[in-house]
């Protein structure tokens, strides 16, 4: 199984020497835990990490974008749980497209990051 580059970077680092840490997963259906017929790669990450060093906490939710995850307070929840030595792996993308003129609550502002967009959240 291939993992996204952020996970590969984490797996290749020297963090294995540290005592038990938690790895919080924030993302969409490609990372989510088993719920019905949706199961993402996040469910399998625990098998690639030394169980004595890491506990995987999968907070991913299907159908979310970076924007909706933020608006629903899900990033705030993970931030409140993080402790020194913990990791947060963030993966979004395929739900972030769309148009702010027909806002579905998931679309992001287009551009290089310096833009400001205004919309009415429905």
pLDDT in tens, 67-119: 888 889 999 999 999 999 999 999 987 776 666 666 666 667 677 778 777 76
For residues 56-71, give the mean pLDDT.
87
**What is the set of domains in the chain, with CATH numbers?**
5-102 (3.40.50.1110)
Beta strands in 1-122 (DSSP E): 21-27, 54-58, 87-91
**Rounded to an integer, what distance in angstroms lies between the CA atom of residue 112 and that of residue 93?**
15
């Amino acid at each position: 199984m291939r993992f996204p580059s952020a996970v590969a970077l984490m797996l290749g680092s020297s963090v294995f020497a540290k005592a038990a840490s938690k790895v919080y997963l924030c993302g969409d259906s490609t990372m989510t835990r088993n719920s019905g017929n949706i199961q993402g790669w996040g469910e399998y990450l625990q098998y690639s990490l030394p169980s004595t060093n890491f506990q995987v906490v999968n907070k991913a939710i299907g159908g979310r974008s970076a924007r909706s995850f933020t608006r629903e307070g899900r990033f705030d929840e993970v931030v409140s749980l993080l402790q020194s030595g913990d990791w947060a792996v963030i993966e979004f993308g395929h739900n972030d497209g769309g148009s702010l003129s027909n806002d579905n609550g998931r679309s992001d502002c287009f551009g290089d990051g310096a833009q400001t967009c205004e919309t009415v959240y429905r």
